[in-house]
Structure formats: structure tokens, C-alpha cells
Amino acid sequence: MKGKKGFIGIAVICLLLASLWVASDAAAQEKLVAYYSPPAGGGAFTLVAGQVTVTNRYMGAGYKFVHEQTTGTLEIVRRMSVAQSQKKDAFGDFGSTDGYNAYKGRAEYAGKPFPGLRSIAYNQLVDLYLAVPTNSPIKTYADVKGKRIGMGGPGSSVANTGLLILAQYGVKKEDFKPYYFVYKESIEGLQDGSLDGALFAGGYPMPSYLELATRNNVRIIPVDEKVANKIIADQPGYYTGVVKAKSYKGLDQDTRILGWTGTIWTHSGVSDDLVYKFIKNLYDHKEEYYAVHQDAKELKLQEYNKGVAVPFHPGAEKYFKEVGVWKQPSK
């Protein structure tokens, strides 16, 4: 009897070891895909976290997406370019206008174009706020001269757009003190008085600004409508909008802001099959993705190419043709 029990015990152990071996082998076969986002506190970080969750929960196909936060757009572009050269899969989420600059080798990418960058889909409206204490002498962007301003990460869409707006008001980079902080550092700087103002970006309601405004007396500096329209006319991917009064604690009047469209990106070396399965899975489970944040609802089939001026990846093109919304990009 004891011999029989011992045999059964050994058999069970063998089965457990075999199942563990199969599980570990399956894990080893799983291919990791980096998905880069800007830092925590902005809308894109939250949306990428949601996309990664939905992708890993349903897509399967031997892939596992890994959310990796960065300091901002410049770092994401650099990492994606390296991934392409190393023949590794990579995705990213950042502003459409910065994607266009990177693809063409303009602005901070001058002399370093990324012709392998490819669009997957428009997915976000990103508002930019210049936040200052309520009692600050800063009333317009022109008043930033001589002040200490949190800019977001170096080369980020946040910093680039902030500098673009300031230039329209005659404020050059050397006219003030820029600090390339992540949102958490900028919030702390405004709270302890080491910063006079700071830039924040994201969809409404913006997590970083909501945290700041809930705990502190702050306001948003408005952008002149003529300035906003001039920037929009000169660069693809920008838009202007109004943050309604009472949208946040301390916001007493309607405030015009500038923003940009956000896009999901990859590079030309990523397989058509992976990109197709990724975007199809995201739309197939969009209701679950929409629950992540109000701004997630910007992922709409009919607006997949909103503000996008970089060629689409063939895998994304295949999907949008399949669902009947594909439009030939203008040359």
C-alpha cells in the first residue's frame, strides 16, 4: 500500500515538474515588446498603461507588451531608433507634430531624421497648461522673462511646445530659467516656491494639473488666439481650445490653451502582423480601454489619421482598409 502511495506521489511530482517546464518554456517563447510613454502625470502615460493592459489581456499571439516610461518625446524617439537598428519591436506614444519633426529631421532633430518612424493611429488630444500660483505676477507668456519655469522632459512635446509659444511672445530660451523636470518635480517646485511656473500636458481632466490645483492655489496662463492660430497654420498636429471656467478648482474664467494631437507610433522594422494584431485588438476591446480615462475615447475609427503627417505602418493600413475607413494620405 505504501509503495502504491509512493508511486502516486512521484507521479504527481513529475506532473507538476512537467507543467512548470511547459509554463517556463511558454514564458521563454513569449516575445517582449517595449511600449514607451512620457513620464507619469500626463495623459499619454495613463493611456499607454491602459493599452498595454488590454493588449496583454486579449491579444496573445506570443507577445507581451512592457510599459516603459521615459523623460519624454526625445528619449522615446531615440529608443525607437535604436530598437529599429537592433531589429527589436518597439512602440511609442507622443505628439503628432514632434513625430513629423523627427521623421523629417526638423527642429531639434535637424541632421538626425528618423525616416523609419511609422504611424499606427491618432489616439489623444493633449492640452498644454502653463500653471502659476494664483498671486503670481505672470499674467501672459511674455511675463516669463527672468522667471524659473518647469518645462517637462528635455526634447519633450511639452518643452518644445512651450518654447514655441514663448517665442511668439518674444521670449527666447536664454531670457528665462528652464528646468527640465518631470511633473512630480514641477509640482514640488511650485509648492515650495523654487519654481515660478511650470508646464503640464494631458487630456482633460489632466492628472498632474488636477493634483496641483486640488492642493494649491494656482491658475492657467491663457494663450492669445492669434498666437495659437499662427502656430497651427505653421505646423501640423496643433489645435487650440478653451478650458471652461470651474473645470478645476481656482479656474474662474474660460482660458484659451494650445494643444496637439497624440499618435501611437512604431518603426518600419516591426512586422505587419504584430501591428495589425495590436491595433485590431485595441479596437475590438475599446470599451474596456475607454474605461482607463476619459481621453481614451479619442481612439475613434473615423478619426484614426487626425493630425497625422507621417506614413502609416502597413500593418495599420491593412486594418483600416479592412474596416473601411482608410483614406489615401495626401502627398
Q: Which domains does the chain have, with CATH numbers?
A: 12-16+23-124+262-322 (3.40.190.10), 126-260 (3.40.190.10)
Which helix (H) or strand (E) is 219 found in, with range? strand 218-220
Contact in structure between 168 and 232 (CB atoms under 8 Å): no
pTM, entire model = 0.80
Query: pLDDT at position 248, please?
Result: 97
CB-count burial class (<10 Å; 0-12, 13-18, 19+) for 209: buried
How, if at all, do strands 31-37 and 90-95 pair?
Answer: parallel
Report the alpha-carbon distance of residue 47 to residue 202 in Å, rounded: 10
| C-alpha 184: how far from chain center | 17
Q: Describe the chain by its helix, strand, coil percentages, rounded to 5.
A: 45, 20, 30
- Where residue 169 falls (left for φ over 0; alpha for ψ -120 to 50; beta otherwise) is alpha
Contact in structure between 183 and 40 (CB atoms under 8 Å): yes
Report the alpha-carbon distance of residue 10 to residue 112 in Å, rounded: 62
Kindly give the residue spans of alpha helices, DSSP state H, lying in the chain: 2-29, 43-58, 73-85, 96-104, 157-168, 183-192, 207-215, 225-234, 272-284, 286-290, 314-322
Contact in structure between 177 and 276 (CB atoms under 8 Å): no
Query: pLDDT at position 3, please?
Result: 52
Count other Cβ atoms within 10 Å, centred on residue 218. 25
The torsion angle over the Cα atoms of residues 90, 94, 95 and 100, rounded to 10 degrees, is: -20
pLDDT in tens, the chain (331 residues): 445 445 445 544 444 444 444 444 444 578 999 999 998 888 899 999 999 999 999 998 899 999 999 988 999 999 999 999 999 999 999 999 999 999 999 988 999 999 999 999 999 999 999 999 999 999 999 999 999 999 998 888 899 999 999 999 999 999 999 999 989 999 999 999 999 999 999 888 898 999 999 999 999 999 999 999 999 998 878 999 999 999 999 999 999 999 999 999 999 999 999 999 999 999 999 999 999 988 899 999 999 999 899 999 999 999 999 999 999 765 5
Contact in structure between 122 and 307 (CB atoms under 8 Å): yes
Q: Which amino acid is at 102?
A: A
Which helix (H) or strand (E) is 31 found in, with range? strand 31-37
Count other Cβ atoms within 10 Å, centred on residue 231. 21
Report the alpha-carbon distance of residue 63 to residue 276 in Å, rounded: 13
Q: How far is CA 202 from CA 47, 157, 206, 258, in A?
A: 10, 11, 5, 11
